[in-house]
Structure 1
């Protein structure tokens, strides 16, 4: 069991927007108290080997979990193999605590809440007018609304993080995307096992 003050769980995510969304859900489920969970934005999945090793060195008693994009699975596989985890094909990385987003977490969130809710969130953030202008750019005019929202969410300083938070608060048990639902369930399982006082 981790020492007092050490996290019981470390969660590796690609960037700040992923961390923002996961933090909202951890808080909503009462899983962010007492320093139980440490979120680590890696600044890109290519850093997963470094941050996996660092997390295990700094918190040897903690369980390391993570989110990753399907197209970047090879980086997670390589990181786990280099850390000494025996992996054989075919590999289900869920068994090792890593949950896959079909495209990326932003796409999962947009599909989960629906495009109308995303436009509502953009309106709350004061970005809806900018999005309408973006939609008429020649290279995006004929793309699907989902694609337009996904691209717009990733542009602009701070927009990606703020929108991720606004979309995460709109999720409920029925709409939480599978990778996030699986991650939350694994967090709860480990906290129940390692924290007697955890409800």
Structure 2
């Protein structure tokens, strides 16, 4: 069986103008049926962590989560991977403000719009609201980021802001932090309180 990460890399090169044959061959080796298009690596981490918590191996199920490096690339990725390209079923998880990009990309690829799952603001916001800010701060402390969090809160721009907004901003202030917390926050979720878009996406796969 091929390597899922190799497939992601091959698709990225293809989307950037490279050859499509490596992606075609890896899709065949992996017996892929479905591509989940997400904006970035933190979304990938969250989806795969929830799948693992539920005892799912997405690769075995013929599913590959593909981070695109930005929602504006979705039209290109959808065309390459969807019905008019590799012929995979398309699903996607996106922020509310990016929904239009996804809808146009799906239309361009000839894919059904009901397979787009939309977060109210973004996935981090969904996870913070599902956990509650106090629980997220516990995760931050357990991860050894308490001092950085306390320093962040002293910044003038953060004074008086709602705690949830502060936490969302904090997660994006250091390279790699959103990816790390994409895993940690999903691991901390009560199984009964998984954000609806994430839950619906996993259920659809």
Please say whether Structure 1 and Structure 2 have the same fold, judged by a TM-score greater than 0.5. Answer: yes
1:193 aligned residue: none
Mapped partners of 1:64, 1:169: distance in 2: 26
Mapped partners of 1:4, 1:146: distance in 2: 43
| Correspondence for 2:202 among 184, 189, 194 | 184
TM norm structure 2: 0.80
Deviations 1:14-60 (A, max 9, x none): 10001000010111122225262201001010000111112226642
Mapped partners of 1:111, 1:138: distance in 2: 24
Mapped partners of 1:73, 1:148: distance in 2: 24
- Please give the residue correspondences for 1:146-157 in structure 2 after superposition, counting only pairs within 5 Å: 146-157=164-175
Query: Within the alignment, does 1:168 sit opposite 2:168 as a pair?
Result: no
2:37 aligned residue: 12
TM norm structure 1: 0.82
Mapped partners of 1:106, 1:112: distance in 2: 10
User: What is the root-mean-square deviation of aligned Cα atoms in Å?
Assistant: 1.8
- Please give the residue correspondences for 1:32-71 in structure 2 after superposition, counting only pairs within 5 Å: 32=57, 33-34=59-60, 36-56=62-82, 59-60=86-87, 62-71=88-97
Q: Measure how far apart 1:67 and its partner are.
A: 0.5
Q: Which has the higher contact order (CA 8 A, sep 6+)?
A: 1
- The runs of 5 or more residues in structure 2 that have no matched partner are 1-26
Q: Measure how far apart 1:69 and its partner are.
A: 1.1
Q: Which one has the bigger helix percentage?
A: 2
Mapped partners of 1:85, 1:12: distance in 2: 12
Query: Within the alignment, does 1:123 sit opposite 2:149 as a pair?
Result: no
Mapped partners of 1:137, 1:84: distance in 2: 47
Matched residue of 2:175: which SS? coil
- The runs of 5 or more residues in structure 1 that have no matched partner are 87-92, 188-199
Mapped partners of 1:181, 1:134: distance in 2: 31
1:76 aligned residue: 102
